[in-house]
Chain A
Amino acid sequence: MQLLLFGAFNGLIVGFFYALMALGLSLILGLNSVINFAHGGFMALGGYLAFTLAPFIGFWGALAVSPFAAAALGLVAERGLIRPLYGRDPLYSLLLTFGLALILEDMTRTIWGAQGVPFAIPDFLNHPLSDVYFFLTGYRLLVVIVAAVATGALFAVLRYTRLGVCIRAGNADLETVASLGVNIYLLRALNFALGILLAGLAGILAGGQLGLTPTMGSSLIMPSFVAIIVGGAGSLIGSLLGGLIIGVAAGVTTMYIPAASEVVIYLIMALVLLIRPRGLLGQEGLFE
């Protein structure tokens, strides 16, 4: 029983990383119609920026600042590279962000080294909170809390702010939103940055838990795609749910059949596609 809980909790932590990534990807897929392959690269960038900033502004400062730094770089990329591709075949934005992902990974490797670096977290977060449930450390609790707060804030922004209303309306019908006088170029740029913000946050949290390596982005982006497909495209709650489901499934599987821990999420995806092709909460006929 403890083994099951251990696996499930581990999976939940990883699931939150997937969910944060998937939420950002989903936002960008929705309004910008871009499958952002560079999402993993920006995620790693967020983590590494925090690693570099932490000696100067402390762990908490880095946690607060570096997602925004990553988002700022995301804005630059959107403005310079992705904007010219709106309205063209999705193949091209896919290829462009793919190239960007290669460059980001290579740059990370060149600047911070191929070996990966340990990202120090405050000492008091390292201790288990309970003797029985030894896996429940302060840091893991922090990951859950920060991810939950970030997700809650995202939904609040979408629900209650003008920006959020525009994003939701833009998902439904971008042309109408444009004709109502909203600057959709600015809107798409902000939406892209919002997605990268979540990726950067995921990068820092994952860095503290799993360590920072140049390939961390490549290895976390695939499950995030799966999370979107399982949860259903067009639904942010679906992406959140999808991330947590596959995270927990992988975590539990690791405990019993370690070799199958990665394959199991693809089996879940296959099952979902067989039974409910649109995904758990997805809309029919979106992005087709």
Chain B
Amino acid sequence: MSVETEARPRSRAGLALPGDEKLRFAIFAVLLLAAPFWLPLVGSYTDLGTRVLVYALAAMGLNLLLGFTGGLSFGHAAYFGLGAYGTGLMLRYVGPNMWLAVLAGVLLGGVAATLLGPLVMKRRGIYFAMITIAFGQMFYFIAVRWNNFTGGEDGLTGFQREPLALPGGAIHLTTVPFYYFVLAFFAVGAFVLWWVLNSPLGHAMVGARENARRLEFLGVRVERLTWIAFAISGFVTALAGSMSALLNNFTSPLDLYWQLSGYFVIICVLGGMRNFWGPFLGAAIYVLMQDYASSVTKNWLSVIGLMFILVVLFFPRGLLGVLARRRSA
């Protein structure tokens, strides 16, 4: 992996929130909380904001591995899709309990990542990427072929968001309440990632990215460390998948397809994968662009492809990466 590090005195992971960053975070949080109010004013709609949250959470989960541990995973759509299927299947076959449905999705995707981890960890670098790609595709075929259970190629239908049981009564998750429902889970996921990265465990992960051999000499078992990162990353991405199934009241094998894995990676790189919030920015741009491109041209796949090429050739550090350099320069 590359040896680029942003010099930050407080934290090697580049996460500490000194002075003005606290203010920036507060503004960010207020913007997110108020999104259903200002999104229609700028000609957008609330569900688009929800979609940004879903993609951002998936990509931030991936980025724990990709940007901070240095594991080039190209198969995260598998855990996203398993999260979506877990939630959908639970609602369809077991019962209308939202909490259980989310739990089922998170467990299905997260446990799959945890179990596959040791097999994937056998190799590093470019070979690691290839193995994650290939394993990701396995679940796609299971979903396509097991059609009397999963709905096959047409996708899983026959479930929908149910009223959310809370101590004070049930809430109907129409568009705006559902946004806050997703925002709450987004906050939980983001907090877990932030907490992990600021713990000694997280510092070791960044160490594995920067110099795995040195870390081995210090007595850290890098393979197991990568496994832990892979598992946590899988759980968070599965949570995003679960939210996606609830957002669309639908999931299909495309949620498990390798192209989606690639989209998650480019979201991280576009926003800046060395930055905690980079994937969020990347997800916002990606979702807006996809929404716009698919409404004006049939060839939006080429537009996305072109974005991949332009980002790689001209913005390899991502937007926040470029900003961070400007500021420190």
Per a CB cutoff under 8 Å, which of B137, B262, B299 touches A106?
B299
A131 at interface, CB cutoff 8 A: no
Contact with B along A263-288 (1 / 0, CB 8 A): 10010011001100100000000111
Question: Is there a chain A Cβ closer than 8 Å to B34's Cβ?
Answer: no
Whether a CB of chain A sits under 8 angstroms from the CB of B141 is yes
Residue A35 CB within 8 A of the other chain: yes
A107, B72: Cβ atoms under 8 Å? no
Q: How far is the CB of B269 from chain A (nearest CB, A)?
A: 6
Given A98-B262, A225-B134, A259-B145, A273-B122 contact (CB < 8 Å): yes
Q: Is A100 touching B305 in the complex (CB atoms < 8 A)?
A: yes
Whether B126 pairs with A101 at a CB distance below 8 angstroms is: no
Asked if B74 and A102 make an inter-chain contact with CB atoms under 8 angstroms apart, the answer reads no
| Complex-state Cα separation, A102 to B265, whole angstroms | 14
Let me know if B262 and A270 touch, CB within 8 A.
no
B134 with A95: CB separation less than 8 A: no
Q: Are A85 and B312 in contact (CB under 8 A)?
A: yes
Q: How far is the CA of A35 from the CA of B312 in the complex (A)?
A: 15
Confirm or deny: A103 has a beta carbon within 8 angstroms of a beta carbon on chain B. Answer: yes
- Asked if B302 and A225 sit within 8 Å, CB to CB, the answer is no
Binding-face segment, A60-68, A162-170, A194-202, A226-234: A226-234
Residue of B nearest to A234 (CB): B127
Which stretch from A1-9, A49-57, A86-94, A133-141 is at the chain B interface? A86-94
Closest A residue to B128 by beta carbon equals: A288
B260 to chain A, nearest CB (A): 12
Chain A contacts with B in 116-131, Cβ cutoff 8 A: none
Q: How far is the CA of A30 from the CA of B25 in the complex (A)?
A: 45
B130 touching A96 by the CB < 8 A rule? no
| Cβ < 8 Å to A, chain B residues 64-88 | 66, 72, 74
Of chain B, the residue at the smallest CB distance from A25 is: B130
CB of A96 within 8 A of CB of B145, answer no
Cβ contacts under 8 Å, B307 to chain A: 99
Q: Is B308 in contact with A96, judged by CB distance below 8 angstroms?
A: yes
Residues of B126-173 at the interface with A, using a CB-CB cut-off of 8 Å, are 126-131, 133-135, 137-138, 141-142, 144-146
The answer, yes or no, to whether A178 is at the interface (CB within 8 Å) is: no
Contact, CB under 8 Å: B146 / A287: no
**Interface residues of A: mostly helix, strand, loop or mixed?**
helix
Q: Does the CB pair B127–A103 fall under 8 Å? A: no
Partner of A273, one of B131, B258, B259, B316: B131
| Residues of chain B lying within 8 A (CB to CB) of residue A94 | 72, 74, 126, 129
Neighbouring B residues of A96 by C-beta, 8 Å: 308-309, 312-313
A228 close to B302 (CB less than 8 A): no
User: CA–CA, A105 to B304, complex, Å?
Assistant: 12
Q: Which one of B134, B262, B269, B316 contacts A226 once the chains associate, using CB atoms below 8 Å?
A: B134
Q: Does B1 contact A (CB under 8 A)?
A: yes
Checking A225, A274, A288 against B133 with a beta-carbon cut-off of 8 angstroms, the contacting residue is A225
Q: Is the CB of A273 within 8 A of B119?
A: yes
- Chain B residues positioned under 8 Å from A225 (CB to CB): 130, 133-134
Residue from B124, B301, B306, B312 with most neighbouring chain A CB atoms (10 Å): B312
Residue of A nearest to B122 (CB): A277
CA distance A102 to B266 in the complex (A): 13
Contact check: which of A98, A228, A266 meets B135 at CB < 8 Å?
A: A266
Kindly list chain A residues whose C-beta atoms are within 8 Å of the C-beta of B124.
288
Whether the Cβ atoms of A288 and B145 lie closer than 8 Å is: no
In the complex, whether A84 has a CB less than 8 A from a CB of chain B is yes
- Interface code A251-269, partner B: CB below 8 Å = 1, 0 otherwise? 0000000011011001001
- Residue in B closest to A273 when the chains form the complex, CB atoms: B119
B5 to chain A, nearest CB (A): 14
Q: How far is the CB of A282 from chain B (nearest CB, A)?
A: 9
User: What is the CB-to-nearest-CB distance from A258 to chain B, in angstroms, rounded to a whole number?
Assistant: 8
A89 vs B123: C-alpha distance when bound (angstroms): 16
Assembly CA distance A287 to B2 (angstroms): 15
- Give the Cβ gap from A247 to chain B, nearest Cβ, in Å: 15
Contact string against B for A residues 2-37, beta-carbon threshold 8 Å, 1 for contact and 0 otherwise: 000000000000000000000000000100010101
Is there a chain A Cβ closer than 8 Å to B177's Cβ?
no
A81 at interface, CB cutoff 8 A: yes
Q: Which residue of A lies closest to B304 (CB)?
A: A102
| Bound CA span A98–B138, Å | 19
Q: Which residue of A lies closest to B299 (CB)?
A: A106
Contact of A102 with B316 in the complex, beta carbons under 8 Å: no
Pick from B269, B298, B301, B316 the residue with the most CB of A within 10 Å. B301
B209 CB to nearest chain A CB (Å): 11
From the candidates B1, B128, B134, B306, name the one contacting A269 in the complex (CB within 8 A).
B134
For B2-38 the 0/1 string (1 means CB < 8 A from A) is 1000000000000000000000000000000000000
A102 touching B131 in the complex, CB below 8 Å, given contacts A263-B142, A288-B125: no
* Known pairs A94-B74, A229-B130; A222 contacts B258 (CB<8 A): yes
Report whether A99 and B305 are in contact in the complex, using a CB–CB cutoff of 8 Å: yes
Identify which of A98, A260, A273, A277 gathers the most chain B CB atoms within 10 Å of its CB: A98
Question: Which residues of B are interface residues toward A (Cβ below 8 A)?
Answer: 1-2, 66, 72, 74, 119, 122-131, 133-135, 137-138, 141-142, 144-146, 258-259, 262, 265-266, 269, 298-299, 301-302, 304-309, 311-313, 316
Can you give 16 contacting A-B residue pairs, CB < 8 Å? A88-B2, A90-B125, A91-B66, A92-B316, A94-B129, A95-B265, A100-B308, A102-B301, A102-B304, A222-B258, A225-B134, A229-B134, A233-B130, A266-B137, A269-B134, A288-B123
18 new A-B contacts, CB < 8 A, other than A99-B307, A99-B312, A110-B299, are A29-B126, A35-B130, A91-B265, A92-B316, A98-B262, A98-B266, A100-B308, A102-B301, A102-B308, A103-B305, A105-B301, A106-B301, A229-B127, A229-B130, A233-B127, A233-B130, A266-B134, A266-B141
